[in-house]
């Protein structure tokens, strides 16, 4: 296994992007990380021996198949970024609508959490402790699974360190995706988690099928784009609905 191979660099890229998406919640961090995942995916696809490398970018040889992945990522990130950004312009409707008891309690809880309070360095560190420790466990689980249950490294494939990195990458993306879905507090975070799971399945499919099926590539991209569109719709609808609830005053909170 080479320690300075391009595959290692790609795997480290996946690791860094996944870590950013698990630890941070701000869309300004998670969406560029998602785009970087698709860039990495495009690069990794270009390294697969059965994918024709038909594009030359200086010393770098890439495949048009990998480029499709990058373009898909760009479309997805554009949809999600536009949704997150457009919330500024969504108009607050006239009038207020009372929430029922449970919703009001939830809102009070959310408002208490969102209340700007001075946070010290120690508290800020503590807020990141859980995601960071989860991340460490996730990396350990990924390595264990890739060693114990290698779905790509089979006797049917020629021996190469590339397959180990593919196993690591798809396990990592799938686990990061599931963790994102489980820890999500917003529709957009759920969508990012699901997109990571799809990217993981995409990587596994391409490697195991050992061919480039045009229909399957198109359909995988369509599924991802439809998912992003659907979550954008739900995200805006949730936002509109939440805007119409009366938020409790600071006296009510205390």
**Interface with other proteins by CB under 8 A: which residues?**
93, 97, 103, 149, 151, 154-156, 181, 187, 190, 194, 197-198, 201, 204-205, 208-209, 213-216, 219-220, 222-223, 226-227, 229-231, 233-234, 237-238, 240-241, 243-244
In angstroms, give the least distance from the CB of 191 to other proteins. 9
In angstroms, give the least distance from the CB of 199 to other proteins. 10
The smaller minimum CB distance to other proteins, of residues 106 and 115, is found at 106
Q: What is the 3-state secondary structure (H, E, C) of the chain?
A: CCCCCHHHHHHHHHHHHHHHHHHCCCHHHHHHHHHHHHHHHHHHHHHCCCCCCCEEECCEEECHHHHHHHHHHHHHHHHHHHHHHHHHHCCCCCCCECCCHHHHHHHHHHHHHHCCCCCCHHHHHHHCHHHHHHHHHHHHHHHHHHHHCCCCCCCCCCCCHHHHHHHHHHHHHHHHHHHHHHHCCCHHHHHHHHHHHHHHHHHHHHHHHCCCCHHHHHHHHHHHHHHHHHHHHHHHHHHHHHHCECCCCHHHHC
The smaller minimum CB distance to other proteins, of residues 5 and 164, is found at 164
The smaller minimum CB distance to other proteins, of residues 208 and 247, is found at 208
The smaller minimum CB distance to other proteins, of residues 119 and 237, is found at 237
In angstroms, give the least distance from the CB of 80 to other proteins. 14
In angstroms, give the least distance from the CB of 43 to other proteins. 22
The smaller minimum CB distance to other proteins, of residues 56 and 214, is found at 214
In angstroms, give the least distance from the CB of 181 to other proteins. 7
């Amino acid at each position: 296994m080479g320690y300075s191979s391009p595959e290692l660099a790609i795997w480290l890229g996946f690791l860094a992007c996944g870590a950013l998406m698990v630890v941070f919640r701000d869309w300004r961090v998670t969406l560029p990380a998602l785009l970087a995942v698709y860039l990495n995916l495009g690069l990794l696809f270009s390294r697969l021996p059965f994918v024709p490398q038909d594009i030359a970018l200086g010393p770098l040889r890439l495949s048009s198949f990998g480029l499709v992945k990058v373009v898909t990522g760009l479309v997805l990130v554009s949809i999600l970024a536009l949704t997150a950004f457009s919330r500024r312009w969504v108009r607050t409707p006239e009038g207020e609508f009372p929430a029922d008891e449970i919703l009001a309690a939830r809102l009070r809880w959310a408002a208490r959490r969102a209340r700007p309070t001075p946070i010290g360095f120690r508290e800020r560190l503590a807020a990141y402790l859980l995601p960071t420790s989860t991340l460490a466990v996730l990396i350990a689980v990924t390595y264990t699974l890739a060693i114990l249950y290698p779905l790509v490294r089979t006797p049917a494939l020629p021996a190469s360190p590339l397959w180990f990195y593919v196993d690591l990458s798809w396990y990592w993306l799938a686990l990061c995706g599931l963790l994102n879905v489980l820890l999500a507090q917003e529709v957009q975070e759920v969508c990012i988690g699901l997109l990571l799971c799809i990217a993981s399945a995409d990587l596994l499919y391409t490697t195991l099928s050992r061919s480039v099926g045009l229909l399957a590539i198109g359909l995988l991209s369509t599924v991802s784009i439809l998912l992003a569109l659907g979550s954008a719709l739900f995200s805006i609808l949730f936002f509109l609905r939440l805007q119409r609830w009366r938020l409790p005053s600071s006296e009510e909170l205390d």
